[in-house]
Amino acid sequence: MPELDVYEKAFIFSLIPYIRYDNAIKTLNGHELNVDKMVEISGISKRKVQSILQGLMNKGIMNKENKGKKNIYYINPSLFNKGNRIDSKIQKMFFE
C-alpha cells in the first residue's frame, strides 16, 4: 500500500465507525455517506476532503460506485486485514 499523508490517515481514521462489513462507508442506518457528511464527520474542509478522496482512489485505498445520483464509497479491505484468513487468537477474542 502506498504511504498515506497525515490528512489521509486522519480522514480514514474518522470514517472507521462507518465502514460496513461489505467495506461500504455508510451511516449506522445504512445510508451512503456523501462528501458533505464526510466533511462534517472528519472536520476537514470540503475542498480538502474531495482532494483526499481522489488521492485515496488513485492509491487504490478507496473506490466509489455510482448509483444514480448517489455515490457509494468503499474502502480496500486489505488496509485493515493483512493476509487471507483471520488469526486463531483474534478469532477467539472476537468471535467465540
Q: How many CB atoms lie within 10 A of CB 8?
A: 19
- What's the predicted TM-score (pTM) here? 0.79
Q: Helices then strands (H, E): number in the chain?
A: 4, 2
The domain ranges of the chain are 6-77
* E strand intervals along the chain: 62-67, 70-75
| Whole-number pLDDT of residue 76 | 82
- Cα separation, 50 vs 78, in Å, equals 22
CATH 1.10.10.10 fits 6-77, yes or no: yes
**Regions of the chain with pLDDT less than 70:** 1-2, 81-96
Q: What is the pLDDT of residues 18-45, one digit of tens each?
A: 998 888 899 988 899 999 999 999 999 9
